[in-house]
Structure 1
Amino acid sequence: MKRQWKVGEIAKMAGITIRTLRFYDQIGLFSPSDYSPSGYRLYTEKDISRLQQILSLKELGLSLEEIKGVMSGDQLSLSDIVTIQIDRLKENIRMQQKLLHELENVSSRMQRNEPFTVEHVMNIMRTMKMNHEKFFAERKSSMDLHLDRLGEYLDEHPEEPGQGGFKNE
């Protein structure tokens, strides 16, 4: 008989959350090979190999949509994947350099006691907004991971009401 693992076991082995695996299943990126009679998701060694490929592509910076395309047979070579990563890094560097340039411009004007124009302020605000949006998107992703782990912990350690857990009032 083939060895099979439940969703919690796969999540733990891969270092990701159960919620992430459920989401991957929901979007059609990574689904279990089988289900137990009681409805548990069951994964095989082949599934584990597929998940490893998905996580490796994600680590290289591909979006879930890009990964889905690669996994469904759209051919992206290793060279294509590296090029995508390089392009993303260049864009991040470009945004940081733009912000640096704007801030240096402000600093220089301040040192010369020159007034700011509305255009200067708007340029800085636009550039900072782009950087902040990226920062907060990354923070949200991190928070989601922590909330997933908290949810898993609470699922694994349910407590009776009134016994130190949450009280229904």
Structure 2
Amino acid sequence: MKRYWKVGDLSRMTGLTVRTLRFYDQIGLFSPSGQTESGHRLYNESDLSRLQQILSLKELGMSLEEIKSAMAGEQFSPLEIVNLQMARTREQIKMQQQLLEQLQYVSKLMQGKALIAVEDFTRLLQAMKESHEKLVIERRTSWEYRLDVLGDFLADEHEGMHLKEDKP
């Protein structure tokens, strides 16, 4: 027996907003497999698998356009996407482990009331910088994409207003 979820159910399960899921449908990235008689979106298990792939690629830093292209061209199999996500997670763990080791080292020095060398703080600051740098780049890329989408929307709206004004 197939299971279906409405957009609100999917939103609660994934943490994505209903608005985001509707936007994904609007741009052709992620559409439901069915609808109720009253027009509510219905998602099935294969839709959930596709959404997992989309979110994994997004987490890897791909833009929605790149994800759409990758999914349409089937550039990545579901297994490849999971493997890419595992590799990224390992990289993040390694960076966080390095930061933790630096923090523990400085903490031991402070507890022992030892003098902390400039090099110790430099290594700590470098580890902190590396762990935060990636997050900042990902957020900037996401905001740039959202601003591009907003700009396109506003340009379309502006053009539509001029067309209405030109009509007698």
| Amino acid in the other structure paired with 2:97 | Q
What is the CA-CA distance between 1:98 and the residue it aligns to? 0.6
2:99 aligned with 1:104: no
**Residues 112, 58 of structure 1: CA spacing in aligned structure 2 closer, same or farther, 3 A cutoff?**
same
2:22 aligned with 1:11: no
**Residues 74, 124 of structure 1: CA spacing in aligned structure 2 closer, same or farther, 3 A cutoff?**
same
How many corresponding residue pairs? 119
2:50 aligned with 1:54: yes
Per-residue Cα deviation, 1:139-168 (whole angstroms, up to 9, x for no partner):
xxxxxxxxxxxxxxxxxxxxxxxxxxxxxx
User: % of aligned pairs identical?
Assistant: 40
* TM-score (structure 1 length as normaliser): 0.50
Partner of 2:20: 20
Question: Does 90-99 or 47-56 show the bigger shift?
Answer: 47-56
Task: Mark the runs of 5 or more structure 1 residues left unpaired by the alignment.
Answer: 1-8, 34-41, 139-169
| Amino acid in the other structure paired with 2:77 | S
Per-residue Cα deviation, 1:18-67 (whole angstroms, up to 9, x for no partner):
2112331455413579xxxxxxxx5776x7577433322146x3216464
Whether the aligned pair in 1 keeps the contact of 2:57 and 2:67 (CA below 8 Å) is yes
What is the CA-CA distance between 1:123 and the residue it aligns to? 3.0
Q: 1:62 is paired with a residue of what secondary structure? A: helix
Whether the aligned pair in 2 keeps the contact of 1:24 and 1:30 (CA below 8 Å) is yes
Structure 2 CA distance for aligned equivalents of residues 23 and 126 of structure 1? 39
| Amino acid in the other structure paired with 1:22 | R
Partner of 1:81: 81
| Amino acid in the other structure paired with 1:62 | L
Partner of 2:162: none
Which aligned pairs between 1:66-145 and structure 2 lie closer than 5 A?
67-131=67-131, 134=135
Structure 1 CA distance for aligned equivalents of residues 112 and 41 of structure 2? 68
What is the CA-CA distance between 1:105 and the residue it aligns to? 2.0
Structure 2 CA distance for aligned equivalents of residues 123 and 25 of structure 1? 46
Per-residue Cα deviation, 1:51-96 (whole angstroms, up to 9, x for no partner):
433322146x321646423421233123312220221111111111
Structure 1 CA distance for aligned equivalents of residues 97 and 52 of structure 2? 29
Whether the aligned pair in 1 keeps the contact of 2:95 and 2:127 (CA below 8 Å) is yes
Task: Mark the runs of 5 or more structure 2 residues left unpaired by the alignment.
Answer: 34-38, 140-168
**Residues 44, 111 of structure 1: CA spacing in aligned structure 2 closer, same or farther, 3 A cutoff?**
closer
* TM-score (structure 2 length as normaliser): 0.50
Structure 2 CA distance for aligned equivalents of residues 50 and 43 of structure 1? 18
**Residues 58, 28 of structure 1: CA spacing in aligned structure 2 closer, same or farther, 3 A cutoff?**
closer
